[in-house]
């Protein structure tokens, strides 16, 4: 393969990975993750990097995630989001937060347009904060969206984020509003 073509593939792949990780995302119900789905991967504190889950051979050792997360959505007059973060390891962890904000929830429509963000318009303390998390302990955050009549109809995507510096984590789920 010519080196110039190979360089093009590397740059194009990097641009695609960057845009998927940081840009708005569109989704369809055909390609959306099932309800209560976690992002396939985990934060590895030992190497301070995100490790994507992937298929490995039967003889390979699979490293278990340190933190697991899920998001539950309850719809009604208000929409309630319950974001759960569990220490799946056998060691006590300490989550470091750069401010008083520990989490966020964002709702986007099928085109990737942001409909609502929990943290919008809120103010958080600007002090560092540490949160210990014992083995197999779960932190739960509940957020309510008091949506205006007619706001956010149809298929939507909820993305909950743990804003920890050393264990950033997110979980996504789809839901539908009439």
- Is residue 135 within 8 Å of 89, Cβ to Cβ? yes
The string of pLDDT tens digits covering residues 121-154 is: 889 988 888 999 999 999 999 999 987 666 667 8
Is residue 133 within 8 A of residue 93, CB to CB? The reply is: yes
pLDDT at 147: 77
CA dist 32 and 174 (Å) reads 7
Strands (DSSP E) along the chain, which ranges?
A: 41-44, 49-52, 67-74, 79-87, 93-97, 103-108, 114-117, 129-133, 138-145, 154-162, 169-177
Rounded Cα distance, 162 and 30, in Å: 27
**Lookup: tokens for 71:** 């998001």
Those residues whose C-beta lies under 8 Å from the C-beta of residue 167, and which sit 6 or more positions away, are 43, 45, 66, 67, 93, 95
State the average pLDDT over residues 54-79: 71
Across residues 69-79, what is the average pLDDT?
90
Residue with tokens 């958080």: 124
When pLDDT is cut at 50, 70 and 90, the band that residue 51 belongs to is: low
Q: Where are the domains of the chain?
A: 26-177
Match 């560092």 to its residue by tokens.
128
Q: What is the pLDDT of residue 150?
A: 61
Spatial distance between the Cα atoms of 89 and 91, rounded to a whole number of angstroms: 5
Centroid of chain to Cα 113? 17
Q: Which residue has the higher pLDDT, 56 or 85?
A: 85
pLDDT at 65: 62
pLDDT band of 85, cuts 50, 70, 90: very high
Name the fold adopted by 26-177. Answer: Immunoglobulin-like (2.60.40)
pLDDT-derived band of residue 1, with 50, 70 and 90 as boundaries? low
47, burial (CB in 10 Å: exposed 0-12, middle 13-18, buried 19+)? exposed
- For residue 83, pLDDT over 70 is answered with yes
């Amino acid at each position: 393969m010519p080196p110039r073509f190979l360089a093009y593939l590397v740059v194009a792949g990097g641009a695609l990975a960057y845009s998927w990780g940081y840009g708005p995302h569109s989704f369809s119900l055909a390609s959306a993750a099932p309800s209560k789905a976690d992002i396939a991967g985990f934060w590895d504190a030992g190497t301070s990097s995100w490790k994507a889950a992937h298929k490995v051979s039967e003889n390979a050792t699979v490293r278990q995630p340190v933190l697991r997360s899920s998001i539950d959505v309850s719809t009604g007059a208000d929409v309630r989001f319950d974001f759960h973060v569990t220490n799946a390891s056998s060691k006590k962890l300490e989550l470091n937060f750069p401010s008083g904000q520990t989490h966020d929830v964002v709702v986007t429509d099928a085109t990737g347009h942001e409909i609502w963000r929990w943290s919008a318009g809120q103010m958080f303390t600007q002090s560092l904060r540490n949160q210990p998390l014992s083995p197999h302990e779960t932190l739960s955050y509940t957020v309510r969206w008091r949506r205006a009549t007619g706001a956010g109809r149809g298929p939507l995507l909820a993305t909950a984020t743990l804003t920890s510096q050393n264990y950033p984590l997110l979980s996504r789920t789809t839901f539908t509003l009439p």
